Structure 1
């Protein structure tokens, strides 16, 4: 199958690669089927296959903020059919700006994907110390200081 994406051009994919977000992503609930498109750079793309113009730039938050942690509730684990840590990926949505200094990372709403069940969900971490607009350059600078 093929999709002609806005950001990446034509992408070929198989049904086995499709991730299902049963409830969509907050604000985009109507779209439930996505592809995770990885490039050689640190960023990846969560691309809707139902709407060619809809994609999210994502990044592994642990790569830029080593102290990042959260607990996934039992209900979320059941919804994603998580039985162990195997096959679990965590991504954060990046908001791009005109320059890399303006890029922000949403640590309050991690995207959790079970690659075994092909299920995903954006979790909202209520009552957490994280926000939706952490400056990426600050996270990277703090991460390097902690090494």
Structure 2
């Protein structure tokens, strides 16, 4: 089937590449079908492209490319919803937020996307663990000091 994408124009995909998000994503509840496309060869980034909206695409990255020991628990209900039977079937992605300055580009570590690759089911979860940052700088030098710690926000 042909698919129009934001970043690659028209491409050919197979039905079995489509990942179904039963509840959509927070803020995009009606977007339920996505495919994963490599950003470029040898790039750690993956485009999560909506099947039904060519303009809706997220740049994502596997957290292992950003930090070590990124661990969290998935609720029993979420495991059931995503039909997870083995950890080997899971792909975890974090959404990247692009900025004008390279050092301001961030990853959302506190709301990972969980994909059951075997069953082609996905969902985004909001972690109860508040140690992971919503705006983790992926290129900034300060990340080496305290890589996964939550942003200090002064108000």
Q: TM-score, normalised by structure 2?
A: 0.86
Q: Say whether the 8 Å CA contact 2:91–2:117 is kept in structure 1.
A: yes
Q: Counterparts of 1:138 and 1:125 in 2: how far apart (Å)?
A: 24
Q: Counterparts of 2:138 and 2:58 in 1: how far apart (Å)?
A: 16
> 1:25 matched to which residue of 2?
25
Q: How does 1:45-84 map to 2 (within 5 A)?
A: 45-84=47-86
Which consecutive unaligned segments of at least 5 residues does structure 1 have?
none
SS in 2 for 1:120: strand
Which consecutive unaligned segments of at least 5 residues does structure 2 have?
148-155
Change (3 A) 1:66 1:18: same
> 1:101 matched to which residue of 2?
103
Q: TM-score, normalised by structure 1?
A: 0.91
SS in 2 for 1:66: coil
